Amino acid sequence: MNAGTFRSWQSIQQEVLRRIHAREWEPGEVIPNEADLAREFGCARATVNRALQALAESGLLERRRKAGTRVALHPVSKATVNVPVIRLEIEERGRSYGYERITRLESAPAPLWAAAAMGLAAGTPLLHVAALHTADGAPFVHEDRWINTDTVPGAAQQDFRDVSANEWLLTNAPYTHGDICFAAMAADGEPALRLDASDGAPLFVIERTTWDGARAITAVRLSYAPGHSIRTTI
């Protein structure tokens, strides 16, 4: 009866969503297999497959060979947080971007958090760059960065005075994978000073480490100005 009504994988996805939401297919229940759905919808199995794979990726369906496809009992919402270059993050909000390098040390002993994140011994000498990114002149985020020049020799030639390490590394040191950590920390020391935050004020902090295979490229702690939040949809 539905034959011909659902032609694109998106429309099939919509219909599946409708059935889940209308409780025609209940949480935990096995839904018909791909071949049956394809027949019902009057389309090829590959089209159904595309729709169901997308829903499985979003966590709403769970699929296993032979066991079939079931509606997830506890749909894990997967929030995708975009972490762009800071300059673009600011410009996309229609604010004017500013950058100021604070310090650059050719070789400084890595602090515990950076060393641990990069899998190095604490105190390993690394290239260190501290900088402040501003939006409409106001402090936006403080960048505390540690770079492994063994992995990225080119970084030693950069002074990061005009182009931030954030931006330079992203286009010049492609990474294979990375770790990222979101946390809340009390404002303290130089970041607090630069961000005009009173000592102990809660700051939103992102720590990120990127790798080229098994070799760490860089570790960075981004301390955002008070009140900053990250929004997305699920």
Enumerate binding residues for DNA (CB under 7 A).
7-10, 33-35, 42-47, 49-50, 52-53, 56, 63-69
User: E strands along 110-194, which residues?
Assistant: 125-135, 138-147, 177-186
Closest contact distance (angstroms) between CB of 57 and DNA is: 10
The entry of DNA, a copy of itself, none near residue 205 (CB within 5 to 8 angstroms by kind) is a copy of itself
214 lies in the binding site for a copy of itself (CB under 8 A): no
Buried/exposed code over 54-71 (b: 16+ C-beta within 10 A; e: otherwise): bbeebebbbbeeeeebbb
Structure tokens at 212: 């080229």
CB contact at 8 A, 83 and 206: yes
Interactions with a copy of itself, residue window 53-72 (CB under 8 A): 59
Closer CB to a copy of itself, 1 or 74, in the complex? 74
CB contact at 8 A, 167 and 187: no
- Contact residue for a copy of itself among 3, 121, 181, 193 (CB under 8 A): 181
Half-sphere exposure of 58 (CA within 13 A, CB side): 11
Q: Which residues bind a copy of itself (CB under 8 A)?
A: 17, 20-21, 27, 59, 73-85, 88, 167, 170-171, 174, 176-186, 200-205, 208, 212, 228-234
